[in-house]
Amino acid sequence: MTEQLHFSELWPHWPELLAGLWVTIQLTVLATIGGLTIGIFGAAVRSGRPTWFSRIWGGYVELIRNTPFVVQLFFIVFGLPNLGLKMTAGEAALLAMVVNLGAYSTEIVRAGIQVTPKGQWEAGRVLGLTRTQTFIQVILPPALQRIYPALVSQCIIVMLGSSVVSQVSYEELTFAANLIQSRTFLSFEVYLVTTGIYLALSITMRQLLLAAGRKWLGVQA
């Protein structure tokens, strides 16, 4: 017996999918900005002299890298309110994504800094630059060039991981897909279309980030 597919029955639900997609895009953009900012700051901290702060930051990195994202999300959503830190599902989802990307990007950027010749630090001092100025103007740009493709891949992983926030009833793309499936029972059609949307979003995001890297950082990728 041949089963028929019913993609046409999904047309009335496209506004819901597009609304979920828009939420996913917003989450991804904000998480990317926040996570990379934290990552660059953390890499600077971890690349300097060992201090109590760098050790604490290292503990944060190890904690996040060695625990599942869904557990981190649930801790923020259900655990922090017990400490009096209440937030909406959207705020919790964004915080979880920023914290996650911040930890991973810390180590990625740090890896790029570690292979920087020490002579560049000395060149900065010769030019009369402070350590902070040397880091921003001399050390960071070539370091980002080296590890930019890895950063792009990590940002895409975080975007795809945003599907997990549907578990806390935040209405992003996967939540919308689950809701449509529960109404129509068209599991194959709904999730095939959703897969296609995520694939298109991943490819588009990668191309945009690589184009930005070529323009602003001179990345050859």
Predicted confidence (pLDDT) per residue in 172-218, tens digit = 999 999 999 999 999 999 999 999 999 999 999 999 999 999 999 98
153 alpha-carbon distance from chain centroid? 9
Predicted confidence (pLDDT) per residue in 4-25, tens digit = 888 999 999 999 999 999 999 9
pLDDT band at 48 (very low <50, low <70, confident <90, very high): confident
pLDDT at 2 over 60: no
In-domain check, residue 126? yes
Domain residues for the domain of 56 are 10-216
pLDDT at 160 over 60: yes
CATH of the domain at 127: 1.10.3720.10
In-domain check, residue 1? no
In-domain check, residue 3? no
In-domain check, residue 5? no
Q: Residue 131's CB: how many other CB atoms inside 10 A?
A: 13
Domains: count for the chain: 1
In-domain check, residue 2? no
Per the document, the length of the chain is 221
In-domain check, residue 22? yes
Q: Which candidate, 186, 206, 196, places its Cα nearest to that of 4?
A: 186
What is the identity of the amino acid at 184? T
Question: What DSSP character marks residue 138?
Answer: I
Q: Compute the average pLDDT of residues 152-173.
A: 96
Predicted confidence (pLDDT) per residue in 85-141, tens digit = 999 999 999 999 999 999 999 999 999 999 988 888 888 888 889 989 999 999 999
DSSP string, 132-199: HHHIIIIIHHHHHHHHHHHHHHHHHHHHHHGGGGGGGT--SHHHHHHHHHHHH--HHHHHHHHHHHHH
- Does this model's pTM top 0.85? My answer is yes
Predicted confidence (pLDDT) per residue in 127-142, tens digit = 889 989 999 999 999 9
With tokens 């990552």, the residue in question is 39
In-domain check, residue 93? yes
pLDDT given at position 1? 37
pLDDT at 3 over 80: no
